[in-house]
A = this chain, B = another copy of it.
């Protein structure tokens, strides 16, 4: 039976999650690049959002949520076949469930934009994102939320630590690696052209994330309330952690730093947000802040891969951390909703399997996709285009014409 209150909240949550990508994430990323590439970043987010929406309706939703095997859903709901105005999904219309999930299918490939800014070909963005949705996003969603093998194992992933952040983070790294670094990486690249814009984007992401996590309750009640609270706490704590680390290490806490902490905290709490209590929210914020901070350095300095806007370090590592810690802080002892028949140990094992399997799968398939892109559209923009800036080279426009 449709519940108008639950429906009202998921309608809102859907708007909030779309808002995360457009314009939230778009601005967050656009502020971090050089001014000659701002439009290309916005264009990537916009085009991915449109493309993902159409692909989701064509087959993505079906591959993720229709009856199928342990590995992938079937095609019975391709082109939303069988979905009518009166179809229900729990207490909300199925059309709304499709829409809500679609906004996840939009933001996940859009997160990966951060890895390849300032040097990728636009045609490659479309090709990679399109293939990625079918080959990685839909199956993994099926594994976790569509009744697939990880769901069978009892994996906990409330709002997408595995489905969204691990998939996007690992894939981002692979693309960055295949694409090669920006000129001057790591120490000669240009600083973010508009830190103010980064903050605006991060603020929108924070607000929108309420829809992401509390919306994943798919109802407007106790679970949504607690999810919102722990989401918020994790974001606040991780922000402060990042601020303190920078203050101690460099003597000055930066705006770009504090909001990077915000996103790290949000990504970290995501998988756990429906299971943990306030204590869990705070501890995950602490953990996410510290671990993602270290991960940023690790990827840039040790691995020397130009995952330009730290998609793996902030999203992937954050999401993985939260997924693993969910096994601990979901326990009633920590104010969580309880682990049912599982123990912390057994749950931790399941969570680890989920993270590792998804990471490997995403990495390998993304590598294949990169090869396909190289063989067809090509991956890297020409040096001339990169020097000129992708805004004019690929889109014939300039961000600022003052």
Q: A residues bordering B, Cβ < 8 Å? A: 2-9, 11-12, 14-16, 18-19, 22-23, 26-27, 30, 35, 38-39, 42-43, 46-47, 49-51, 53-54, 57, 79-80, 83-86, 92-96, 98-99, 102, 122, 190-196, 199-200, 203-204, 206-207, 210-211, 214, 219-226, 228-229, 232-233, 235-237, 239-240, 243, 250, 252-256, 258-259, 262, 277-278, 282, 335, 337, 394-402
CB distance from A374 to the nearest CB of B (A): 21
Contact A53 B11 (CB under 8 A): no
Find chain B residues with CB under 8 A from A18 CB: 206-207, 210, 232
Most buried by B among A49, A211, A214: A49
CB closest residue in chain B, given A256? B397
CB closest residue in chain B, given A243? B47
Cα-based distance from A360 to B5 in the complex (angstroms): 42
A228 and B99 in contact, given A49-B236, A195-B398, A200-B27 (Cβ under 8 angstroms): yes
CB distance from A331 to the nearest CB of B (A): 13
Contact B222 A93 (CB under 8 A): yes
Find chain B residues with CB under 8 A from A195 CB: 39, 397-399, 401
Cα-based distance from A222 to B92 in the complex (angstroms): 8
Find chain B residues with CB under 8 A from A219 CB: 4
Find chain B residues with CB under 8 A from A222 CB: 2, 85-86, 93, 95
Contact B39 A255 (CB under 8 A): yes
Contact B7 A200 (CB under 8 A): no
CB distance from A90 to the nearest CB of B (A): 12
Cα-based distance from A3 to B195 in the complex (angstroms): 42
Cα-based distance from A308 to B92 in the complex (angstroms): 43
CB distance from A250 to the nearest CB of B (A): 7
CB closest residue in chain B, given A238? B50
Contact A50 B226 (CB under 8 A): no
CB closest residue in chain B, given A197? B196
A220 and B7 in contact, given A83-B278, A96-B225, A240-B50 (Cβ under 8 angstroms): yes
Contact A225 B39 (CB under 8 A): no
CB distance from A43 to the nearest CB of B (A): 5
Contact A8 B96 (CB under 8 A): no
Contact B278 A228 (CB under 8 A): no
Most buried by B among A79, A86, A206: A206
Given contacts A8-B12, A19-B207, A30-B196, 7 further A-B contacts (CB under 8 A): A7-B224, A8-B9, A27-B200, A57-B233, A85-B223, A94-B225, A99-B225
Contact A15 B211 (CB under 8 A): yes
CB closest residue in chain B, given A211? B15
CB distance from A315 to the nearest CB of B (A): 20
Taking a contact as CB atoms closer than 8 A, the residue among B22, B51, B232, B233 that contacts A207 in the complex is B22
Taking a contact as CB atoms closer than 8 A, the residue among B92, B229, B254, B262 that contacts A395 in the complex is B254
CB closest residue in chain B, given A205? B22
Contact A397 B206 (CB under 8 A): no
Q: List 17 A-B contacts (CB under 8 A).
A: A4-B4, A6-B8, A7-B9, A11-B214, A14-B210, A35-B401, A39-B195, A42-B199, A43-B199, A46-B239, A51-B236, A54-B282, A85-B226, A85-B337, A193-B400, A194-B399, A252-B395
CB distance from A81 to the nearest CB of B (A): 10
Find chain B residues with CB under 8 A from A99 CB: 225, 228-229, 232
CB closest residue in chain B, given A250? B396
Contact B96 A228 (CB under 8 A): yes
Find chain B residues with CB under 8 A from A252 CB: 394-396
Find chain B residues with CB under 8 A from A22 CB: 203, 206-207
